[in-house]
Amino acid sequence: MKRLILTLITALLMGSALWAQEDIFEKFADRKGVTTVYISKKMFSMMNGYNNGSINLNNIGSKISGLQILSCEDKTVIPEIRKEAARIKTDGYEVLMRIKEEGEHVTIYTKEGKEENQYILLADEPQEFTIIMLNGKLTLEELQGTIKR
């Protein structure tokens, strides 16, 4: 019985790490100066095979389970979002890439799951803060292949 309870608690805690990051979108969605976008799995499935020259979704549209974007230009709200986003560092995400240039900081994180992977991009600029979260059963290589260089 103890083993069952510990297993359930562990599963709930592991699931809460992914859930915590999605909560940030809900928490700030109705705030003035904040723009949010959500694209569902169904929409990506409909876009499977899309290729406009610079973005290529051939064979991966059906592998994406969702995309969320939060962008804020309100200087009074940005510090709150920064504070919430900082939790990513302690939630088991791995840094894939970090760019610092003239006041702009961009970091891409990933967390691999059994069912799907999660990729989070944080773009922190003096006048704007943006979070992009992509979930799906796709590899980093497949994700990189969507953007024409």
Rounded Cα distance between 145 and 149, Å, is 9
pLDDT-based confidence at residue 139 (cuts at 50, 70, 90):
confident
Whether residue 132 contacts residue 120, with contact meaning beta carbons closer than 8 Å, is answered with: yes
So what's the pLDDT on residue 3? 40
How far from the centroid of its chain's Cα atoms is residue 97's Cα? 14
pTM (2 decimals)? 0.77
- Domain enclosing residue 29, as ranges: 21-144
pLDDT in tens, 78-130: 999 999 998 887 788 999 999 999 889 999 999 988 888 899 999 999 999 99
Residue 53 counted as domain residue:
yes
What would the two tokens of residue 123 be? 């773009």
Rounded Cα distance between 60 and 44, Å, is 8
Residue 2 counted as domain residue:
no
pLDDT in tens, 45-61: 787 777 776 666 667 77
Residue 9 counted as domain residue:
no
**Count of structural domains, the chain:** 1
Residue whose pair of structure tokens reads 């876009």 in the numeric block: 47
Residue 129 counted as domain residue:
yes
Q: What is the helix (H) or strand (E) element at residue 134, kind and residue range?
A: strand 129-136
Residue 25 counted as domain residue:
yes
Helix axes 78-85, 2-28, angle to 10 degrees: 160
